[in-house]
Amino acid sequence: MPENTAFDVRGPVNLMGATAHPHAARRLRQTFPGATFVDDGANADSPTIHLKQDDGLAEGGFRITADNGDGPPVLTVAGGPFSGVIYGVGELIARADGDTVALPDSPIEVRPGLAYRTFWTWDHSTNWELSQVGVQEIGVFNPYGKPPSGFLADYRRLVDWCSDNRIAAVVIYGFLRDSHGGIAAAQELCRYANERGVRILPGIAIGAYGGVYWEGDHDYNLATWLKKNPQFAATMEKGVGFQLEDLAFPLNFPRSDYTVSACPSAPETMDWMTDAVSWIAETFEVGGINIEAGDYGVCGCDRCVARRAARESAERRKADTGESWSHVDMADNFPRLFEAANAKRDDLWLYSELQWDNLLDREAHATTTTLPRGGIYQHTANKTYWGKLQQELRRDYVEQLPTQPNVLRCQFACQWNGDERTERYALNARTFADMAIKSAAVGMDGLTVWGEPSPYHATVEVSYLAFARFTWEPDLTWDRFVDEDVAPLFGGRDGADRFIALAEELDANQTLDADRLAAMQDEVRAHGAAAHGEAARRWLTFEDQIARRRFMGR
Q: pLDDT tens for residues 429-454?
A: 999 999 999 999 999 999 999 999 99
Tell whether omega for the bond before 47 is within 30 degrees of 0, i.e. cis.
Answer: no
What is the secondary structure of 208-231 as a DSSP string? BTTBSS-BSS-TTBHHHHHHH-GG
Q: pLDDT tens for residues 171-204?
A: 999 999 999 999 999 999 999 999 999 999 999 9
Query: Rg of the chain's alpha carbons, rounded to an integer?
Result: 25
For residue 45, the tally of other CB atoms under 10 A from its CB is 8
Q: Using CB atoms within 10 A of its CB, is residue 104 exposed (0-12), middle (13-18) or buried (19+)?
A: middle
What is the secondary structure of 351-381 as a DSSP string? EEEEEES-TT-HHHHHTTTTSPBTBEEEEEE
Say how far apart CA 232 and CA 435 lie, in whole Å.
Answer: 41
pLDDT band at 241 (very low <50, low <70, confident <90, very high): low
Predicted pLDDT at 33: 95
- Mean pLDDT highest for which of 3-7, 141-145, 437-441? 437-441
Predicted pLDDT at 297: 81
pLDDT band at 322 (very low <50, low <70, confident <90, very high): confident
In 321-454, beta strands by DSSP E: 349-356, 376-381, 406-410, 446-450
User: Would you give the end-to-end CA distance of the chain in angstroms?
Assistant: 61
Predicted pLDDT at 385: 96
3-state secondary structure at position 321: coil
Provide, rounded to the nearest whole percent, the portion of the chain with pLDDT above 90.
82
Say how far apart CA 535 and CA 496 lie, in whole Å.
Answer: 10
> Do 327 and 368 contact (CB within 8 A), yes or no?
yes
Calculated CA dihedral for residues 239, 241, 244, 248, nearest 10 degrees: -90
Q: pLDDT tens for residues 57-75?
A: 999 999 999 987 778 899 9
Nearest Cα neighbor of 63 from 49, 76, 74, 46 is 76
pLDDT band at 321 (very low <50, low <70, confident <90, very high): low
What's the CA angle centered on 391, arms 390 and 392, to 5 degrees? 105
Q: Domain 5-110 carries which CATH code? A: 3.30.379.10
121-379+451-456 shares the fold of 5-110: no
Say how far apart CA 431 and CA 470 lie, in whole Å.
Answer: 11
pLDDT at 3 exceeding the cut of 70: no
pLDDT band at 320 (very low <50, low <70, confident <90, very high): low
Say how far apart CA 328 and CA 276 lie, in whole Å.
Answer: 21
**Cα dihedral sign, 260-266-272-274:** positive
Predicted pLDDT at 2: 44
In the chain, the largest separation of any two C-alpha atoms, in whole Å, equals 78
Predicted pLDDT at 1: 41
CATH number of 121-379+451-456: 3.20.20, 1.10.287, 3.10.105, 2.40.30? 3.20.20
Backbone angles phi, psi at 446, to 5 degrees: -175, 175
pLDDT mean over 368-385: 94
pLDDT at 208 exceeding the cut of 80: yes
Q: What is the identity of the amino acid at 360? A: L
Q: Characterize the bridge pairing of strands 74-79 and 62-67.
A: antiparallel
Say how far apart CA 443 and CA 435 lie, in whole Å.
Answer: 12
> Do 377 and 197 contact (CB within 8 A), yes or no?
no
pLDDT mean over 302-328: 86
Say how far apart CA 295 and CA 298 lie, in whole Å.
Answer: 8
What's the CA angle centered on 480, arms 108 and 457, to 5 degrees? 105
Residues present in the chain in total: 554
> Do 79 and 64 contact (CB within 8 A), yes or no?
no
Provide, rounded to the nearest whole percent, the portion of the chain with pLDDT above 70.
98
User: In terms of pLDDT, which residue wins out, 291 or 3?
Assistant: 291
pLDDT at 513 exceeding the cut of 90: yes
Domain boundaries, the chain: 5-110, 121-379+451-456, 487-552
The mean of the pLDDT values for the chain is 94
3-state secondary structure at position 115: coil
For residue 542, the tally of other CB atoms under 10 A from its CB is 26
Q: pLDDT tens for residues 394-420?
A: 999 999 999 999 999 999 999 989 888
- Write the DSSP symbol of residue 325: S
pLDDT band at 313 (very low <50, low <70, confident <90, very high): confident
